[in-house]
Structure 1
Amino acid sequence: MPESPLPGGFVNAVVRVGDTVRRPASAHTEFVGDLLNLLEAGGWNGAPRYLGVDDKGREVLSYLDGHVAWEAGQPASVASDESLGAVARLVREFHDLTAGTRLAGDHEVVCHNDLSPKNTVYRPAGGALRPAAFIDWDLAAPGARIHDIAHVCWQYLGLGPAVADVGEASRRMRLIADTYELSDRQRQRLVVTVLWWQDRCWRGIETAADAGDAAMIRLRDAGVVREVQRAYQWVSDHQTALERALR
C-alpha cells in the first residue's frame, strides 16, 4: 500500500499506510508495545493500538483520526480551559491504569514524557475541538505523576517569554493541577519540576548534538536550545507567582 508522510515529525520519519502508522523501531519498542497493550486491555481509547512490527522493522500502530495540533496557529478551542481540563483527565486516566503494574516497577506510574499539543489528537465534541488521545509514546517510561503534569503545564500553556499575562498562566496551571487532583505535596514541586524538564531538555539536545546525533543537531540548528533556555529563565523569574497560585 502507498505510504504518506505524516506532518509534524522533526525527529522521526513517520508514515501512514492505510489505517496504520509506521515509525522506526527503537530499544523502547517492546516496552511501548507492552504499554499500549496494557492501555487497550484497560479499555482506554486515548492511545493508538500496538499492531507489531512490519517487514521493514518498523513499529505498526493504529492510525487515530483527528486534528493534531502541530502548527503554531490553532483554533481557540485547542487551548481553551475545557481542553486543558480534558488533557489533565486523560493523563490521570492512563496514569491510574499503569499504577502498581509491572511496567511501572517501583515508580508511581508510567509517564508519557512528551505530552504536548503536537502529540495530541483533537476531535469535535459539542461544536469544539477537544483532546481525545495522545500519540508518540516512544519516550514512555516509569516515573512520577508530577513529571507528566509539569510537562503538560510547560507545553500546553507555552510557559515562556511569549506568555503575556503571568496571572492568567498561573490560573490555568492551577486548573490543570485541580483537574488532575494533585496533592499538596505535588503542587509544591510542580514549578520546580517544570524547571527540571526545561533544563534537562536543552542540556540533552546539546549533549546529543555534540555526540553527532543528526536529529538533535537539526533541533539545535533550528534554535530550540536557546528557545528552551529562554523559557527556563521566564519560569525562574516568575516562580514565586506561579507557586503562589498553586497553594
Structure 2
Amino acid sequence: MEHSNNTRLEELAQFLKTRRARLSPEQVGLPHGGRRRTPGLRRGEVAQLSGVSVDWYTWLEQARNIQVSAQVLDNIARALQLDSSERKHLFLLALQQLPADLTPVETTISPTLQLFLDLQGTSPAYVTDQRLNIVAWNRAANLIYGDYRAMSMRERNSVWRTFTSPYVREMLQDNWETHARHRLAHFRANYGKFAGDPWWMELIGDLNQISAEFRAWWPQHDVLNGPEGKKINHHPAAGLLIFDQLSFHVTDSPHLTVTINVPTLDSDTTLKLNKLLSE
C-alpha cells in the first residue's frame, strides 16, 4: 500500500512539473523576470497564483505526503490553466477522487443527439442533466410522460415532478413509491458533488415544504446510481405499458444521461405505442 501511495505522489509531482513547464509568465499575466534556466513558470510563481506558500507547493512537487484540499487543487488547476481532463487527473492523483463537475447547466443538446432520440420510435427516450432536469425528449416520451414543451424547467425536473405531480402518481400507481425512492437516491448521489450549491438547496427546501414523503426519506441518505430496470406505466389513453429501461452517458457530454424505455418483447406495448403515435 505504501509503495502504491508513493507511486501516486511521484506521478502527481511529475504531472505538476510538466504542466508548469509548458507555461510562460506572459501566458499567466506575470512579467518575464529575466533569463530562466529551465522553461516555464517557477515554483514560486505557481504558488503565488495559487495562493499557497512556496514551501508548500515545493513539497507537492517533491512527492511529499501532505494534506491538500479541493479548493487549493482548484486554485492550482486555474494557475496551470488545466483543461477539464487534466483537472480530473489532478484530483485523482492528489485526492484519489474526481472533482465536482463544473460544467455549466445546459438546456439544449446537439442536433445529432436529438436525431438519435427521434429515431427511437416507439421507445420513449429522454436526456437528463446532473440535476435530473429533462433537457430533451422524443415524441413517444412526450406522449407518455406529459407535454414537456409546456412545462417550466422546475416542472421538468424529474425529482420535483415525481413528488408533486398527480399525473406521475396515477401513471405509476402501486409502483410510485419504488420509483420515487429510486429517483431520490439517484438525486442524493448527484447532490454529493454539489452539496451546499444554492440551486440544490432551494429545490431541497421546496420539496421539504411540499412533500411529506420527501421530508421522511431525504434524511435517510439513500444513495443509488443506475437504471430502474423494468417500468410499468398506466397511460390514460394507451393503458398498461411495460418497458425495460436502458441508460448511458454521452461520450462528449458525460454530464448528460440518455434514458431509453424499450417496450418489452412479451407485451403489446409496441402495438399500443404505434397506435398512440399515429393519432
Query: Is the TM-score greater than 0.5?
Result: no
Larger Rg: 2
1 or 2 for the larger relative contact order (CA 8 Å, sep ≥6)? 1
